[in-house]
Structures are given as structure tokens and as C-alpha cells.
Amino acid sequence: MSITTEVKLGAFVLATAFAFAFLILTFGEIPLFRPETKSYTVYFKDVGGLSKGAEVRVAGIRAGRVEEITLEEGRVKVLFSVEKKVKLFRDASATIGTLGLMGDKYLAIDPGSPESGELSEGSTLKASEGGADTDRLIRELTRTAESFREVALNLNRILEENRRNLRETLKNLNALTATLKQIAEENQENLRITLAQMAQLTEKLNRTLPEAIASIDRLADELNAIASENREDIRLLVANLRSISQDLKGDLPRLVENLNTLSENLNEVVKENRRDIRITVRNLTEITEKLKASSRRLDNILSKIESGEGTIGKLVTDDELYESVSKGAKLFGEAGEVITKTKIFVGFGGEVYTGGDAKGYMSLRIEPDKKTYYLLEVVGDSRGRVYTEQIVGGDEIVKKEFKPEFTLQIAKKFFVSDDKYFTIRAGLKESTGGIGFDFVPSERIKLYSDIWDTGRKDRPGEDNLKPLLQVGLQLRIKGPLYTRFGGDDLLNDKLRGAFVGAGLEFSEEYLKYLLGGLGLPFP
């Protein structure tokens, strides 16, 4: 059977279409329509994941591609091309950039200044920088997370080992506080009376002390005058004392005789009570022997302690054990100080967007110090994540995926004054990379903005979507209640809208108050 001309023409057209499609799928664009390019070379110590065919951007504008990457004498040689209409100058430099937080690598070119003169085609860029290594950053973050995990395990172990001692200490402190309070209450009136009497005494002393000192001065003057006026009488008094002394000399033998008589009487008393005295002496001897034995045992204990025997001896003489105990006590004290300073905030809320969509979230904010906090949120979004799915025949089906999204960010505060500060946040924002900025001019007002989801491809029919930018104002109404409103998706004209919402955020002290009022156990 002969093949008709129409069949041959159809086969030729079909083959041409397949070849055309192969070129598009292979090279991403039709080579015939590519603009003319010129090639340059740059050397790196490490390209950090840059691959052949990657984009080349000059001053942030896509202008070429990486043609070849080879290893040459311990350095990485990168051959790239840019469009001929793009001019590079002699002081141009190159570096390796990243699209988004975890995006693809591209070659970024700084074209340099026209004053240095145009760089000729095929030249090597003299000033170049190494690429950013995302893997290295991830490894450092992993090590940091492991360090935090070890600190948490050590803290948990310390708390478990000393839980009973802490409870007993707290119980004793509570008992001591109650006792002191009771003593103060029972003696409150006495203390008040004593303080009043002391105040009265001080007032009287301030009033009468100068008079008393003046009286003493006058008395001294009068005594001096009396001594001067009665000098002769004083001489007579001395003469009388001498006379009395002479009389005592005559009476002294009689006094000695009386003392001898007293001694004989005492001797007779001792003879009559000799048995009782012996029993008393024997008892004193036994007491003395017991004291000697106790002294010997005490000396033995002290010698063992000095030689390092027993638990107390080791604690006293072993420097390493002493240092270990000191370090453990210091570590426990530092851990307790961190726990005391750490503040925890728990919140939840919801937002309504233009078009009837809604979003709900629960948040946990941990502040280990005044300048840093960590934010964790679980978000449920009624808009879901939109994507397309191709089926047999080339048709596309638009689908939505609904699942929880997570926010995990670390924030740093920069204070302008005691109650006014800026905040920079970075990390995950609704399961994609993002950053945020806050300004808090007062305790009740917060201006905030977030930008996330770079390289978006979640809206079919919308090409070159820009990241999702949200700017809002949060007002605290009363206590934990607040409201917020603002603009959503501000960088995309067709998706731009507004939102309004409300929520509650409880501090750790507020939660303790609520749970305590409900009769629930709370540490």
C-alpha cells in the first residue's frame, strides 16, 4: 500500500514538533533565539554547591548562565557567559548567592565602576569571594541544638536527683516564714510600745543630757572648792586613819587566835562528814575518767578526719572532691537562676481575611532573658496550600492541601529606652523560611511585619509571584486580650487584601493564678 503525500507531510510535521519539544525540555529555551553572549572566568576555593547551568546575575538581574565548572590545581575554575549588552569593568567581582533561605545557588556578579575601564571578553575576574556554605550553617545549628539538649538533660538530672532536698528546703523555708510571721504578729504591740519608749527616751536624753553634763561640771568645780576649803579637815582624817591602824596592830593577835579557833571547828566538821566527802570525791573521779575517755574518742575521730578516712575526711582532705562539690553547687545555682529568670507566654487567636478566609493559631513564647525570646506557633489556615496536578491528556487539576503549619523563630530585642524597643525575628514562618520586624513604642502597641514564602508557586495561573508580605498593628485592650489588623500579601497586586483578628496571650504568673483559682495543681 503506497503512502500518501498527506501522511508524509503529517509525519514530517510531527517529527519537527517532537524535535522542537526536545530542545525546549532539554535547554529550557530555544537556542536559536538566545541572545549573543561573551565568556569570562573566575576562580573559587569552594563553590558551595554551585552547578553547571546555574543562573548568572549581574547587579541582581539575570544576565547569563554557568557554562562549565572544573577543578584546576586545587582551585575551582568557573566559566560563565553573560549577554553581550551587559558591560563588566576591570574591578568587577564575583560571589556565590542563594535563592531564598534554602534555595538554589547562583553566581552573583558586581559589575564594578566604569572609571576602571571595560573588562575584555575571556578575561578572569580579579577580585572574587568564596560562596556561602549552607551545609556548614546547618551543621553549626545542629551542634548548637545538641548542646542545648545536653544542658536540658543535665538540668533535668540535677532536678531529679535533688527533688526531695528541694521540697524539704522549701517546706522548711515555709515553716520558718510562718514562724517569723507569727512571732511578729504576736509581738507587734510590744514592738510598737518598745519603739515608742525608745523614741521618748531619745527625746528626753536630747533634752536633759546637756543639763546633766553641765551639772557634772558644776559638781566637779564644787568638789575642788570643797577640797581646797577643807584641806585641814582632810589632814585630820588621815591622822585618824593612822590611829586606827595602830589600834589594829594591838588587836591583830586576838584576831589570829579567833581564826585558829575557826580552823579547829572546821576540822571537826570534816571528821564528822568524812564518809560523805569521800563519796563526793569518788563521784568526781568517775566523772573525770569519763571525760578523759570522751576526749580520747574525740581525738581519734579528729585524727581520722585529718588522715582522710571516712566521708567527712575525704570531703575535707580530697581537693578534687571538694572542687567537684563546689562545681556541682555552682552549676545547680546557675541552672536555678536561669529557670527563675525564664518567662513563658502562652497564647491563641484567629484572623479573618478579605474573601472570607480565616486563620487560627496557638503560640508559645519563651524568654530566657530580657533581650532574647523563642517563638513557636501551630497555624491552621483555611486558604490551604494551592497546587496543580497534571493528569493523562495534559489537563491540569487545581487542588488544595490542608495541614498544620509551624512557625519557629528566634528573636533579638534592641532597646531604645526601658519600654521602647525594636525586634528582629528569623526562622520558619508557616513552614517556610521568613523574617520579621517589630517596633514596640509602648506596652499596649506593637507594629509588626513579616515576609516569607520566597519563590512561591502556589497559585496556578499566577507567574512570578513575589514573597508574602504582611504588615499589621496589634493593640492590647485589657489584660491578656488584644486585637490586630493590617494588610496581607502586599507585594502581589491581584492577591492583596486586608485582615482583622483577636487573641489572648497569658503570662506564666497569670496561668498560675487561673489554675490556682480552679483548684488545679500547678508548681
Q: How far is CA 367 from CA 138, 362, 364, 407, 507, in A?
A: 24, 17, 10, 16, 11
**387 pairs with which residues across the strands?**
399
Split at pLDDT 50, 70, 90, the class of 522 is very low
Q: Let me know if residue 104 belongs to a domain.
A: yes
| Beta carbons of 121 and 102 less than 8 angstroms apart | no
393 and 508 share one domain? yes
41 and 83 share one domain? yes
Q: Let me know if residue 229 belongs to a domain.
A: no
Say how far apart CA 52 and CA 64 lie, in whole Å: 12
Say how far apart CA 369 and CA 371 lie, in whole Å: 6
Q: Note the pLDDT tens digit of each residue in 326-348.
A: 665 566 556 556 556 788 888 88
Q: Let me know if residue 200 belongs to a domain.
A: no
* Region 493-497 average pLDDT: 81
Q: Does residue 100 surpass a pLDDT of 50?
A: yes
Q: Note the pLDDT tens digit of each residue in 395-413.
A: 666 666 667 888 989 999 9
Q: Note the pLDDT tens digit of each residue in 142-176.
A: 888 888 888 888 878 887 888 887 788 888 888 88
Helices (H), 273-386: 274-307, 310-317, 319-341
| Beta carbons of 502 and 482 less than 8 angstroms apart | yes
162 and 15 share one domain? no
Residue 421: per-residue pLDDT: 92
Rg of the chain, C-alpha, whole Å: 48
Which range scores top for mean pLDDT: 109-123, 145-159, 251-265, 285-299? 109-123
84 and 105 share one domain? yes
* Region 217-243 average pLDDT: 73
Tracing cell 524568654 back to the chain, one arrives at 367
CATH number for the domain spanning 456: value is 2.40.160
Q: How far is CA 224 from CA 221, 337, 379, in A?
A: 5, 71, 100
Domain boundary among 132, 152, 167: 132
Using DSSP bridges, classify how beta strands 61-72 and 127-128 pair: parallel, antiparallel or unpaired: unpaired
DSSP at 282: H
386 and 478 share one domain? yes
Domain boundary among 186, 206, 222: 186
Q: Let me know if residue 254 belongs to a domain.
A: no
- Containing structural domain, residue 47: 35-132
Q: Does residue 516 surpass a pLDDT of 70?
A: no
The number of C-alpha atoms within 13 Å of 93 and in the hemisphere containing its C-beta is 9
414 and 498 share one domain? yes
Q: Let me know if residue 223 belongs to a domain.
A: no
Say how far apart CA 218 and CA 123 lie, in whole Å: 113
Q: Could you tell me which of 503, 514, 509, 149 has the C-alpha nearest to residue 344?
A: 509
Provide the grid cell at 309: 578516712
- Phi/psi for 276 (5° steps) reads -60, -40
354 and 493 share one domain? yes
DSSP at 118: B
Tracing cell 567537684 back to the chain, one arrives at 324
Q: What's the structural domain count of the chain? A: 4
Q: Note the pLDDT tens digit of each residue in 31-82.
A: 455 688 899 999 888 887 888 889 999 988 999 999 999 988 888 888 999 9
User: How much is the mean pLDDT over the chain?
Assistant: 77
Split at pLDDT 50, 70, 90, the class of 119 is confident
Residue 89: per-residue pLDDT: 92
pTM, two decimal places: 0.38
Q: Let me know if residue 477 belongs to a domain.
A: yes
b/e per residue 401-422 (b: at least 16 CB within 10 A): eeeebebebebebeeeeeeebe
- Phi/psi for 371 (5° steps) reads -105, -5
Which range scores top for mean pLDDT: 54-58, 195-199, 292-296? 54-58
The number of C-alpha atoms within 13 Å of 423 and in the hemisphere containing its C-beta is 23
384 and 445 share one domain? yes
H or E element in which residue 14 lies:
helix 5-27
Say how far apart CA 317 and CA 333 lie, in whole Å: 24
Q: What angle do CA 54, 58, 61 make, to 5 degrees?
A: 85
DSSP at 341: H
Say how far apart CA 440 and CA 414 lie, in whole Å: 10
Q: Let me know if residue 366 belongs to a domain.
A: yes
480 and 513 share one domain? yes
57 and 143 share one domain? no
Using DSSP bridges, classify how beta strands 105-110 and 55-58 pair: parallel, antiparallel or unpaired: parallel
170 and 58 share one domain? no
- Phi/psi for 31 (5° steps) reads -60, -30
442 and 359 share one domain? yes
Q: Let me know if residue 305 belongs to a domain.
A: no
| Distant-in-sequence, close-in-space partners of 491: CB < 8 Å, separation ≥ 6 | 466, 467, 468, 469
* Region 291-303 average pLDDT: 72
Task: Tally helices (H) and strands (E) across the chain.
Answer: 9, 19
Q: How far is CA 177 from CA 162, 170, 184, in A?
A: 22, 10, 10
* Region 316-322 average pLDDT: 60
Split at pLDDT 50, 70, 90, the class of 450 is very high
